[in-house]
Amino acid sequence: MKRLAALALFATIAISASAQHEHHTMPKKDTVPSKDPHAGHAMQDHGGHQQHGMGNMSHAYSLHLPMNRNGSGTSWLPDNSPMYMYMTGNDRTSFMFHGNVFFRYTSTDFTAKGSRGAAKLDAPNWFMGMMNHRVGKKGLFNTTVMLSFDRLVMGGAGYPLLYQSGETWNGRPLVDRQHPHDLFAAVSVGYTHSINKDMDVYAYLGYPGEPAISAPVFMHRVSAMSNPDAPLGHHWQDATHITFGVGTLGFRYKQVKAEFSSFTGREPDEDRYNFDKPLFDSYAYRVSYNPSRQWALQFSQAFVHSPEAGEPEENVTRTTASAIHTVPLRKPGSFVASSAVWGLNDKSDGHREHSFLAESNLQLQRNAVYGRYEFVEKSTHELQLEDKFGEDKFSVHAFTLGYARTLATVWKTNVALGAQGTIHFANSALDGLYGKQPLSGQVYLRISPAMHK
């Protein structure tokens, strides 16, 4: 009953939120000029800074970049990215809220080819609020809070996801399951000083927060917005998005940004409601480049100290690169958003494991067709199969195809019905456990803010 009550609470939160102002999404003068014939015109305040409509919401870490570029943490999305959010504010202070709830039924290996499938009724979710406040003519203060009630609605073991691995429950590694996220997924503050329209310097502190590593986390990529599942390569690419203790310093010159982070390497513990001890024992750097409104590129590397509680002596060097591309289509509310993300974990015990993801979302007003391809190398240790296969490594491929349709928009909130299926390919040695090419499927009702226009 408690979980059913929680599901009802999420529906109420998502539907009752409302927006009060609209904005224009053109970039500022120093961004790459738009070729979009449907783009609006930005306004200027008396100080010469362009505004993005009512509320003057700029990028979270620059007065001279559009808020469309906001990713997770301090990462960048393309300037063409549509924004699904509520917003209000005045000329100096702006407030933004967005989030996602998927009420869904999942069945992994629904054809029962193997012994590792499972079924579950749950509701992956997250809610995020952000405030931007102008400080004088050159300063910008940002604060962000992100919450997830995953633990409440799906339990400590998370949700079923074939071949997934990472983190623990009751002291045992989670395998074929995606762990729930912490209640406090982000509590951060940041300050940016504008040197001129081409240059910014900024500082970011999070407890928890997200260090400068990889592309925006999957929940904040428009290319993944219709897919309720975490990527199988999450712990090879963007799993550091919840880090209890992170500090980042960054510098932007025109369309290039360089960042350095010090952070806590240990992944969150099993208590999803507490604040873990900050250690600041790891570091990362990232270089980002947006060559046009359509593209966001990045290369990054993190040196992570003792990320797993089960292997406290093991360190990981994580290297990532990504390209995100977004193009608006002719009809309003239509676009194509795509991402390609590569990640490599180089462990101190000598093991190297690669991952790659390519995903895309074709939005045709109320209809979305989306897909994801993943490749990841999983060790027998990751899959808890050392007793059966010894020390080895398996290649896993997964293809997902889905469709969602927005049934209604109520109080600037979308209610969409969707379904997706996934087929998996792995080494034949795993057929006895997983079956040959196991199939997973799910149906869901998604509640989220409508596109902000």
Q: How far apart are CA 363 and CA 370, in angstroms?
A: 8
- If you average pLDDT over residues 377-388, what whole number do you get? 93
203-212, 221-230, 272-281, 308-317: range with lowest mean pLDDT:
308-317
Q: How far apart are CA 445 and CA 350, in angstroms?
A: 44
- If you average pLDDT over residues 246-274, what whole number do you get? 97
**Tokens coding 271:** 């208590």
* pLDDT given for residue 427 in this prediction: 93
- If you average pLDDT over residues 67-79, what whole number do you get? 97
Is 26 a residue whose pLDDT tops 60?
no
* pLDDT given for residue 350 in this prediction: 84
* pLDDT given for residue 23 in this prediction: 34
pTM for the complete prediction? 0.88
* pLDDT given for residue 301 in this prediction: 98
Instruction: Give the type of residue at 304.
Output: V
Of residues 7, 11, 8, 59, the one with CA closest to residue 411? 11
Of residues 126, 90, 139, the one with CA closest to residue 13? 126
* pLDDT given for residue 8 in this prediction: 45
2-11, 213-222, 323-332, 437-446: range with lowest mean pLDDT:
2-11
Of residues 48, 120, 33, the one with CA closest to residue 80? 33
* pLDDT given for residue 13 in this prediction: 40
Is 253 a residue whose pLDDT tops 60?
yes
- If you average pLDDT over residues 222-238, what whole number do you get? 96
387-391 own/partner pairs: CB under 8 Å, 24+ apart: 389/429
* Segment 111-151, tens digit of pLDDT: 888 999 999 999 999 999 999 999 999 999 999 999 999 99
Instruction: Report CA-CA distances (Å) from 333 to 23, 28, 87, 362, 447.
Output: 15, 22, 18, 11, 17
Q: How far apart are CA 122 and CA 136, in angstroms?
A: 46
CA 138 to chain centre: 30
- If you average pLDDT over residues 12-41, what whole number do you get? 37
- If you average pLDDT over residues 14-18, what whole number do you get? 37
Q: How far apart are CA 453 and CA 450, in angstroms?
A: 9
* pLDDT given for residue 310 in this prediction: 82
* Segment 146-169, tens digit of pLDDT: 999 999 999 999 999 999 999 999
Domains of the chain: 2-449 (2.40.160.10)
Q: What percent of the chain has pLDDT over 90?
A: 83
- If you average pLDDT over residues 18-39, what whole number do you get? 37
Beta bridge partners of 360: 338, 371
Collapsing DSSP to helix, strand or coil, 122 comes out as: strand
Of residues 183, 231, 229, 171, the one with CA closest to residue 208? 183
Is 36 a residue whose pLDDT tops 80?
no
* Segment 82-114, tens digit of pLDDT: 999 999 999 899 999 999 999 999 999 998 889
* pLDDT given for residue 402 in this prediction: 98
Instruction: Provide φ and ψ at 120, rounded to 5°.
Output: -160, 145
**Tokens coding 227:** 């897919």
Residue with the bigger pLDDT between 131 and 239: it is 131
Q: Looking up tokens 């975490």, which residue turns up?
A: 230
Cα end-to-end distance, the chain, whole Å = 39
